[in-house]
Structure 1
Amino acid sequence: MSLKSVSDQTPIVIGVGQVSERLDDADYHQWSPTDLAAQAAKVACADALSVEQLAGKIDAIYAIRTVADSAPAPLRPQRAPFGSPNNVPAAVAERLGAQPQVAVYSPACGDEPQKLVGEICERLFAGEFRLALLCGGEAASTQRAAQASQQTLSWAEEHGQPLDDRHWNVGAMRTKHMNDQSLIMPTTVYPLLEQARRKRLGLSREAYAAKMGELMAPFSRVAQSNPHASSKKPWNAEAIATVGPDNRMIADPHPISVVARDQVNLGSALLLTTVGTARALGISEDKWVYLHGYSALDERHVLERQDLGSSTAMAQAYEQALQEADVTVAQVRYLDIYSCFPIAVFAALDALGLAADDPRGLTLTGGLAYFGGPGNNYSSHALVELVQRLRADPGSMGMVGANGGFLSTHAVGVYSTTPREWHHCDSSSRQAYIDALPAPAFTIDPKGWGRVESYTVLHDKTGPQEVIVIGLLEGTGERFVANSIKGDTQTLLAFVENDGLGQRVCMRLNQGINRFAISQQALDKGVPVPSIKLQSSYEHVLVERRGPVLEITINRPEVNNAMIPEANDELDQIFNAYEADNSLWVAIITGAGQKAFCTGNDLKAASTGRRMWMPRNGFGGLTARQNREKPIICAVNGYAMGGGFEIALACDLVVADSEAQFALSEVRVGLLAGAGGLQRLTRQIPYKQAIDMILTGRRVGAEEARSLGFINRLAPAGQALQVARELAEVLLEASPNSIRLSKQLLNEQAQFASENDAVRTTYKAIDRVVNSEDRIEGTMAFAQKRKPLWKNR
């Protein structure tokens, strides 16, 4: 297509720039991330025309989110001890003398630079703005050096302009279960993906290490010739593959030589406009670069992927971008494949059908391990390098592949100086295909034996510390995650000294974490089997047997009986013992003191940063407990808030004193009632009344609670436990076997939405009650006009 046939609305890249500085530079400025982004923007303006001629015409600035801001707001001061602007695009604009009408701060992901180029081009074509700047900067090296020297810098700025803040989104890539099992950082997840690929290929550890060395050595050579690269150290394939003092293991199979380098001071920028505006501004046509094809796709959660060592979304993203550009990968002369870890490159090569020694090379910068990994902004630097090469080689094609999360988000762009009419690239149908892929069966609660599908050994500077495995249960084939037990040297060495793929392991839950060992003896030693008998005493709970009635008292009155994980574990063990003891027929749970039954999680304890967990049976060991067959009475004295109310809703009967107050208050502290409160309240009382309580978090007094219908008895102030005891005595007049079987039948019929289906089904409980001793005793006692002597059988 000739230049004259391209419409004026066609978007183009017209200017690029990047800057860097090192601590030992003669002209070291100690630039902040914003300074680096702004300096790169000035270079981009000068590349296109000049800062003086272009800065005032920029009407949109997109800034890539910094690493410091890639966390929840309350945690950012830890990441950014020197502060940061409240509006990064506005801070860059002020340094340029620009006054943009649109300011966008990106989400946190490595694919954002390429993804945003696509968005900017779409908005330029639509006429939403005329001249747009995409920029980013990181100064981790400066920050660490200043902290080490106890120097205080001031990087905070306040700007009043409107901001389209798209917030951090990293949390969306991790499930709660992944967090529980330490699958949090890229350095713990990517090794698992790498090992899974090795397993699929059937390679030994040594052979795969050599493959990683052969892949990454050419990246190192490119970095050596890049003036902005953070590392000029030469690495050959053998050196990369050899673990030693200068190349220590981070997480098997990744030594430090193949891990993205985050200690950098780097900034980059791209300036984009339309053909019509470029002509009007007098920008030389030899500066223009066109986006021929692009894509943006998201992968399934890590544990939902059939093959941990590949990415369907990545393959689809490359396929679509090439298809939209109407070229094959063989026609692309310049490539930059995201390289945070070798698996990111290998997965792309697998998808594209390329070899690791492709003569074109796989990086334009030197890659994240050698050029540097400036947080979410690496691909901006790759785009700068690509634009410069395409200008020097008119008519050639280039491609950048960007990756974020854990091979989670992907964006690909195909570029050329060859003019091409703009067309919008829609990835929605491909995304729908990815979203519909079947996920492997998975369990968060593995028990027994399984075999390792993938693993990593985490190291620190002193050596190996912990093993994380993803495996498949032998009995069901379900996928699971488990961590080794601290102090279990036998298991640790088994994975350090030998290949752990296919290793047989046994598992058990301990303090909210699935733990594993390679022998039953090691597992029993590290994680003893919990007792199913009541203990004589507990740290956070009081228990008392009153004949066949078990009284359970949450004993943390100094914090309104708010719960910490250890208290939840104790209640879980107590309810396990209650269910297993045939001599116990009824349980009562209450709270110590008169002020509160339970106010939910101990938020003050949680705010200290201590690890929080939940037993598999839920809050209080009760809210997720399935198929209970014995009655539990909740005696509410005072406040039942959040998780405390959820415990009450999970009980069979509730007695409340006149001073009791109930609330699902989670929405008032940024949480939700995730321990069954939402489901139970909307089923136990009319929906409109339930949703009122849920969305407002308002408190409901005892009288209103009785009228709504979620309590059974109202007691005088301070008398909830006494009335609960009286209610328990009434239950004891009935057959405990009949009560148990009635609850069993209710558990079975809960699967039916239709009342007709529920009542027409045959239940085993009915046969059992007919053949029970209690049924015979009950009818005989009735005929003989005496009290029955129940046997609970």
Structure 2
Amino acid sequence: MTDPARIPVIIGIGEVADRPDSPGRLPIGPEPAALMAEALRLADADAGGGWLRRVASLDIVNAVSWPYADLPARVADLTGHRPARLAYGPVGGETPVRFLHEAARRIARGEVEVAALCSGEAEHSASAARRAGLKPGQDAVPPWTAPDPAWTSPRVRDYLHPQALRHGLSQPVVVYPLYETALQAAWGQTPRQGRDESAALWAAFSRVAAENPYGWLRRPFTPDEIATPSAANRPIAWPYPKLMVANPVVNQAAALIVTSLRLARTAGLPEHRLVPIGPGAAANEPRDWLSRDRFDHAPAQDAVLSATLRRAGLTPADLAAIELYSCFPCVPKLARRSLGLSDDAVPTVAGGLTFFGAPLNGYMAHAACATVRRLRDAPGAAGLLYGQGEFVTKHHALVLGGEPGAPSAAPVSVQDEADSRRGPVPPVVEEASGRAALETHTVLFDREGAPEKGVVVLRQGGSRLLARVPAADRATLGLLTDLDRPALGRDGILRPAPDGLLEWEAA
């Protein structure tokens, strides 16, 4: 029998949603560190109190809405407790899942008795202050921590191929559409059918978010509202309008406290409130997205999801809660096919990154809190968390709930399994002419909804290329945005532009 001192359980959860319309709310809300500290205090209270001062390991999810010199130290100061291990994580939407998994493994190895993690962002307040000409470091009450003049954005993309950078494909909002377009074609869908699937799924997510007291957009949206471009739903990057992309302009924080089953029982905590942390797995795609074999699959996602459930001895039908990362529709659509979920399955318990809100790297901490609430209402049931980071790059899944037991002794990484699922990668060339066929594409729009340019990924022989479609080429842009005729595989002509980039015109 497993020693209860080595069985990790979640005992406390805390969430904060600082809304600008809350009664008594000041013009600028609390800073990210204050939101994190409040979430930790709420998690401590949820666990019955007295645990926060016992936390020996605290992981802080990377925050980018305010330039701190030392965010972990600031959080520790605000809570009045500095753990022996105080760590700050890298950028990545999967990091809350990884931190929770690592906390469980520390408990199981006997390295610590109490661990915690927290996330928090205040992008809504920071953006509103910029628009109003205010400075949170001096105009907020209390003033936010003085900004670090040496701070640099952690979202530097220097690992991407130079061609991706030159074409402006360095942000998730313009790269994930390349996957969406390729996946629709692989699944035999027209763009209209793919859009309608996304809209129906997102409408279901919005209904979950509407019932979540910590969600940001707390009303349900219809599929038509989500699919149809409008003044409030402008096109961003084909085929995604605003209501299909993550919404980072929020003020939200979340925290979880983990200890052993023995300590939780010794403290007299009710058994149904103790949510075991089960097995998990992690793997990555090549970090430079142009160095991948195809854009219509994610081998690391497949390997991580299958290994996690296999290690837990579960099937998708056994799960009472599923949270599939949802920065853009292609991610959960791909994952639910990998899991074999039905079309009417709703793979979220928090509400998704569009409607619940996307506090940048922290969403999955909120998803974990929502899963804990669901599993407390169904003792013995199990749930699945799946997080993703960067450009369909970093994948981590974790089972919560079920029968208490020690975490799997298997290595967390299933990288070898992921790598074995890939095919050959075409070399990227920068100079070419003549005919080239469309591998995938997107079209970028300005704030008024007019197309700025198309960007196409092409194949010529065994090579891969990037090229631009100028805004003036209405015929080619029309082909790329035709809802009823997939453009993938279409031939076109490559020409060098005066700035040295290639341009492509449909033949």
TM-score, reference length from structure 1: 0.59
* Equivalent position SS for 2:136: coil
Q: Indicate if the aligned counterparts of 1:181 and 1:513 stay in contact, CA closer than 8 A.
A: no
Q: Does 2:421 correspond to 1:432?
A: no
Q: Indicate if the aligned counterparts of 1:191 and 1:253 stay in contact, CA closer than 8 A.
A: yes
Q: Number of residue pairs matched?
A: 490
The aligned residue for residue 237 of structure 1 is: 223
The aligned residue for residue 39 of structure 1 is: 38
The aligned residue for residue 140 of structure 2 is: none
Distance 1:512 1:278 in 2: 64
Of residues 445-454 and 283-292 in structure 1, the stretch that sits farther from structure 2 once superposed is: 283-292
Q: How far is 1:411 from its partner?
A: 0.6
Which residue identity is paired with 1:109? G
Q: How far is 1:170 from its partner?
A: 6.0
Question: What whole-Å deviation, never above 9, does each CA across 1:129-153 have from its counterpart, x for those lacking one?
Answer: 2211100101111111111111111
Q: How far is 1:505 from its partner?
A: 2.2
The equivalent position to 1:324 in structure 2, one of 308, 311, 316, is 311
Distance 2:350 2:503 in 1: 42
Q: Aligned ranges for residues 348-367 of structure 1 at < 5 Å?
A: 348-358=335-345, 361-367=346-352
Q: How far is 1:6 from its partner?
A: 4.0
Q: 1:385 to 1:249 in 2, by over 3 A?
A: same
Which residue identity is paired with 1:185? Q
Q: Does 2:263 correspond to 1:287?
A: no
Q: Does 2:85 correspond to 1:88?
A: no
Q: Does 2:23 correspond to 1:26?
A: yes
Question: What whole-Å deviation, never above 9, does each CA across 1:266-323 have from its counterpart, x for those lacking one?
Answer: 0000001122333444433332111121111101342233330221100111111111
Question: What whole-Å deviation, never above 9, does each CA across 1:313-335 have from its counterpart, x for those lacking one?
Answer: 00111111111111111111111
Structure 2 unaligned regions, length at least 5: 138-143
The aligned residue for residue 201 of structure 1 is: 187
* Equivalent position SS for 2:34: helix
Q: Aligned ranges for residues 111-150 of structure 1 at < 5 Å?
A: 111-150=94-133
Q: How far is 1:486 from its partner?
A: 5.5
The equivalent position to 2:363 in structure 1, one of 335, 357, 378, is 378
Distance 1:311 1:260 in 2: 20
Q: 1:457 to 1:54 in 2, by over 3 A?
A: same
Structure of greater Rg = 1
Q: How far is 1:172 from its partner?
A: 6.8
Of residues 501-510 and 489-498 in structure 1, the stretch that sits farther from structure 2 once superposed is: 489-498
Structure 1 unaligned regions, length at least 5: 69-79, 160-164, 521-793
Q: Indicate if the aligned counterparts of 1:507 and 1:514 stay in contact, CA closer than 8 A.
A: no
The aligned residue for residue 403 of structure 1 is: 388
TM-score, reference length from structure 2: 0.91
Q: Aligned ranges for residues 256-335 of structure 1 at < 5 Å?
A: 256-300=242-286, 301-335=288-322
Q: Indicate if the aligned counterparts of 2:495 and 2:504 stay in contact, CA closer than 8 A.
A: no
Distance 1:290 1:136 in 2: 21
Q: How far is 1:91 from its partner?
A: 1.5
Question: What whole-Å deviation, never above 9, does each CA across 1:622-650 have from its counterpart, x for those lacking one?
Answer: xxxxxxxxxxxxxxxxxxxxxxxxxxxxx
* Equivalent position SS for 2:354: coil
Q: 1:98 to 1:512 in 2, by over 3 A?
A: farther
The aligned residue for residue 164 of structure 2 is: 178
Question: What whole-Å deviation, never above 9, does each CA across 1:474-508 have from its counterpart, x for those lacking one?
Answer: xx232222122364444434434575323322224
The aligned residue for residue 484 of structure 1 is: 469
The aligned residue for residue 241 of structure 2 is: 255
Structure 1 segments, 4+ long, off by >6 Å, are none
Q: Does 2:445 correspond to 1:459?
A: yes
Q: How far is 1:517 from its partner?
A: 2.8
* Equivalent position SS for 1:119: helix
The aligned residue for residue 156 of structure 1 is: 145
* Equivalent position SS for 1:278: helix
Which residue identity is paired with 1:7? P
Distance 1:263 1:202 in 2: 35
Q: Does 2:491 correspond to 1:504?
A: yes
Distance 1:140 1:200 in 2: 37
The aligned residue for residue 13 of structure 1 is: 10
* Equivalent position SS for 1:333: strand
Q: 1:321 to 1:499 in 2, by over 3 A?
A: closer
Q: 1:512 to 1:49 in 2, by over 3 A?
A: farther
Distance 2:270 2:154 in 1: 38
Q: How far is 1:440 from its partner?
A: 2.7
Distance 2:73 2:232 in 1: 42
Which residue identity is paired with 2:406? E
The aligned residue for residue 62 of structure 2 is: 65
Q: Does 2:209 correspond to 1:223?
A: yes
Distance 2:343 2:213 in 1: 25
Distance 2:122 2:155 in 1: 21
Q: Aligned ranges for residues 335-734 of structure 1 at < 5 Å?
A: 335-358=322-345, 361-416=346-401, 418-428=403-413, 430-435=414-419, 437-445=422-430, 446-462=432-448, 463-473=450-460, 476-485=461-470, 487-496=472-481, 499-510=486-497, 514-518=501-505
Q: 1:55 to 1:114 in 2, by over 3 A?
A: same
Q: Does 2:200 correspond to 1:214?
A: yes
Q: Indicate if the aligned counterparts of 1:310 and 1:347 stay in contact, CA closer than 8 A.
A: yes
* Equivalent position SS for 2:426: coil
> Percent identity, aligned pairs only?
29
Which residue identity is paired with 2:54? K
Which residue identity is paired with 2:415? Q
Q: 1:233 to 1:286 in 2, by over 3 A?
A: closer
Distance 1:245 1:181 in 2: 27
Q: How far is 1:114 from its partner?
A: 0.4
Distance 2:24 2:272 in 1: 32
Distance 1:48 1:485 in 2: 57
Q: How far is 1:34 from its partner?
A: 0.8
* Equivalent position SS for 2:436: strand
RCO comparison, higher one (Cα < 8 Å, 6+): 2
Distance 2:274 2:220 in 1: 35
